[in-house]
Structure 1
Amino acid sequence: MNTSTKYFLPFIVVAIAASLSSCNSPSTPDNITSATPAPTTIPTPSQTPTMAQLRAKPNNIEPPENTPIATAKTTNVTLYTSDVQCQELIPQKVSVPAAEPVTGAVSKIIEEQNTADLSLSGYRVKVENGIATVDLRLSPESKRQLVSLSSCEQFALFGSLRKTLTSNAQWNIKEVRFTEQGKEVVR
């Protein structure tokens, strides 16, 4: 082997290796599709639940059996909820199902009252001759009873329900009574 071939052979090997490595380049011509899979969709922050949402207590309140699960039509009503000092009831407009506005309003107030130690599992609302009866159902896991509510908690629950039901004139409710599984709640 002569000297020029001896130096030229490694050059050829390096050129072939470089040529082969360029075959793995990420660029592809326009007429060839890539074998790389399409990128997966990553949820945006608005789609990903926050830690607070993951830790939040699930809403276990069951509406009355005759309440439609979902309705397309809603109506606006005024809901009254307690301020943090339990001194006054603050009005706010909310949307409730148009088919059952009274039950929807009661549901929204009760949702706010569930705490770690007082858990309501359901309720029923009956309106007859201008008198609304709200029958509350405690969850078997509830650590507290309705009679053990502080005056602030009573104001927040019973006061909010009473004011909401009597202040929406379209319902013609003049009085509100509270029961627990049919027995009158002594407050």
Structure 2
Amino acid sequence: MTDEDLKRQPEGVQRVAAALKAAGHAHMPRMLDDAARTAQQAADALGIDVGQIAKSIIFRRKADDAAVLVITSGDRRVDEKKVEALVCADCGGKLGRADAEFVKAKTGFSIGGVSPVAHADLPVTLIDRELFRFSEIWAAAGHPHGVFKLTPADLEHLTGAPVADVVAL
């Protein structure tokens, strides 16, 4: 994607591209023909295994109204109790579901396009260790049609987040 092409992209994609460029990441966002609001849609569009999709799940930490971002493998389901134990232990709070308004306000992205980088407010972030089964993964790039390629190690570097066991058995 050239700089001119990037200027014609949605604002969220531009923010993600700028964050990736600033971090020296080798792969810029790619726009898909169809929306990839789900991990399965993204995997089908890219011709990859659904587990290679790094899906972004946002929770609301009730104690301080913080956004909690869990980046998990597309073929796994997040165990909310495991996440709660990791991010609410010190504050004695609970996790709650995040509605579309909360997600947009805290991340700057709409559901279906939440990127692991370039958030409006820095979320509390955890990376699912199950992503490390793959040498290449893909994440949302700030828009339901936008994705970018990376490795699990890149994801750690870009987010600074810890890797944890966050999925249901």
Higher RCO structure (Cα 8 Å, ≥6 apart): 2
Q: Please say which structure displays the higher CA radius of gyration.
A: 1
* TM-score where L is the length of structure 1: 0.23
* TM-score where L is the length of structure 2: 0.24
